[in-house]
Structures are given as structure tokens and as C-alpha cells.
Amino acid sequence: MGKNITTKDFEFLTKLGKGAFGSVVLVKRIADGKHYAMKILKKKDFYKSEKSEESVITEKTVLMKSRHPFIVQLHYSF
């Protein structure tokens, strides 16, 4: 299998938005030039309550399993 993907494999381009736990940034994967939206979470913010932590885990699980044209697909998680 190939090497592990990390944040160092992406060029950070511009901030797209900000949410309760972090922000979303437009990034470009250096290897192939593809663009992605990267959600960056601040762990210190969502560990404040179990409900916050649970909602982040649920979101990741849903995005991992979803295959629909109107739902964002999760490509990488680290």
C-alpha cells in the first residue's frame, strides 16, 4: 500500500468558512493538483463536552459511508 497521507501533502489555499469547532480550508493535493475542502477541528474546543465529541465522530462516520451526489464524500482523515 502507498504512503500515509498527511497535511504536508496539501497546499493550503484559502479559508472557506468557520464553524463551531474549527474552519474549512480550500487545499490542493500536491501530488495530483486535485482540490479538496479540508475541515480543521480544534480538539480543545470539542473535548469540552461528550456531546460535542460524539457529534464529530458521528459526522465522520456518516461522511465515510455516504455515496450521494449531494453529500460531500470523505477522502482522507488524519
User: pLDDT at position 78, please?
Assistant: 84
Q: 2 vs 5, 52, 53, CA distance in Å?
A: 9, 33, 30
Instruction: Output the pLDDT for position 23.
Output: 92
Domain ranges of the chain: 7-65
CATH number of the domain located at residue range(s) 7-65 in this protein: 3.30.200.20
Pairing mode of beta strands 35-41, 22-29: antiparallel
pLDDT at position 21: 73
Strand partners, 15: 25
How much is the pLDDT for 1? 43
Query: In this predicted model, what pLDDT tens digit does every residue of 12-71 receive, in sequence order?
Result: 999 999 977 789 999 999 999 999 999 998 777 666 666 777 888 888 899 899 998 988
